[in-house]
Amino acid sequence: MKRVELRNVTKSYDGKSDVINEIDVTIEPGEFFVLVGPSGCGKSTMLRMIAGLEDISKGELYIGDVLSNQLPASQRNLSMVFQNYALYPHLSVEQNITFGLHTKKISKSEQKKRCIETAEMLGLSDLLDRKPRQLSGGQRQRVALARAIVTHAPICLMDEPLSNLDAKLRAKMRSEIRQIQRKLGITMVYVTHDQTEAMTMGDRMMILHNGKIQQIGRPIDIYNSPANTFVASFIGAPPMNLSEVSVRDNCLQLDDHRSILLANEVASLLPKDKKLMVGVRSEDVKLAKDGQVSFFAEAVNVEVLGTETLITFEVGHKQWIAKWNGQWNVDIGERIPLYVTPSDIYMFEADSGECIWHQSNRFDQHTLKEAVL
């Protein structure tokens, strides 16, 4: 197992605009580390810099204890799985798996042994004589994964390896990849734009936006304590409900004159001279019981998914979603009493997007946060 460390790494193609901007992170040995963000945020570029397929404009990259900025890709002792499989169509599954071992001058008997072990691990034992065109998408992805594993490299890089698979197969492969990583104990850096993959697979994850780090941490910690509105809206399905508000007495005044009650001590701490945004997770928008009404809203869309129901309604100029367990018979246009517990509310600065208060906050960036804690 090896660690990967990036120290103020920057990537620029024209010397003016930075695709990657001062990335500073350490990926621990044996860790499953996920790079997640929207398309074009720089996550694949960062992976390619680790692999040696892209030059580093500024900063330092360490693989283990070795400064690796100028180290050729062939000498970095890592493997990589690409999005498009990159299999050789004229070679068999077995030949595809062992292809990279020839350059390492590994004996044919050892190549055969590793191939059999890896194929058995990935359920490819009966497919070794087939050509890639005879395989399904999931089987081809397993071959690409086997080719990376068979090298016994201590670091494995994966660039959106499941994006070409259907939803059911993606879920199955997520579980398989995670189990294999744990079994082999390798350090894995995994790139995805799918927040579900990031939440379910990673020990830690880094959220990137426009080449900059937004937040690093355990998936559940990031979900519970997003650093800003981008993270809050990107992580979670459905995304967090967000609306601009003003503080009046002990209430948050929405832009359509409806209000949400706040605890006295929280209302007294919120700045009155700044634009604010309120955030509420969809599962925290509840059907009001007696004496609990925060506001009424009309349902504009209802999705009954079997185990849960998603109800969309308008709050001012925004659409919010409530996620309720079970199957709910709600008609479009029906007026629903809704309740939001004050402790479930997140407060953000509207201009910077930074989170300034939530009951679960455990990071100190503002005096307000320290006062609340």
Please check the confidence at residue 202 and state whether its pLDDT lies above 90. Answer: yes
**Residue 216 sits in the same domain as residue 250:** no
Please check the confidence at residue 373 and state whether its pLDDT lies above 70. Answer: no
**Residue 241 sits in the same domain as residue 179:** no
Average pLDDT, stretch 322-350?
93
Q: How confident is the model at residue 360 (pLDDT cuts 50, 70, 90)?
A: low
Q: State pTM to two decimals.
A: 0.89
**Residue 197 sits in the same domain as residue 335:** no
Specify the residue for token string 């007495």. 249
Domain boundary among 229, 252, 284: 229
Q: Which residues pair with 58 in a beta bridge?
A: 10
Q: Residue 293 in contact with residue 260, Cβ under 8 Å?
A: no
pLDDT, tens digit (0-9, with 9 covering 90-100), for 7-16: 999 999 887 7
Average pLDDT, stretch 284-300?
90
Q: How many CA atoms lie within 13 A of 372 on its CB side?
A: 26
**Residue 215 sits in the same domain as residue 268:** no
Question: What CATH number corresponds to the domain at position 316?
Answer: 2.40.50.140
**Residue 174 sits in the same domain as residue 51:** yes
C-alpha 185/C-alpha 111 separation (Å) is 21
Q: How confident is the model at residue 173 (pLDDT cuts 50, 70, 90)?
A: confident
The total of structural domains in the chain comes to: 2
Q: Which residues pair with 348 in a beta bridge?
A: 277, 355
44: containing domain: 4-229
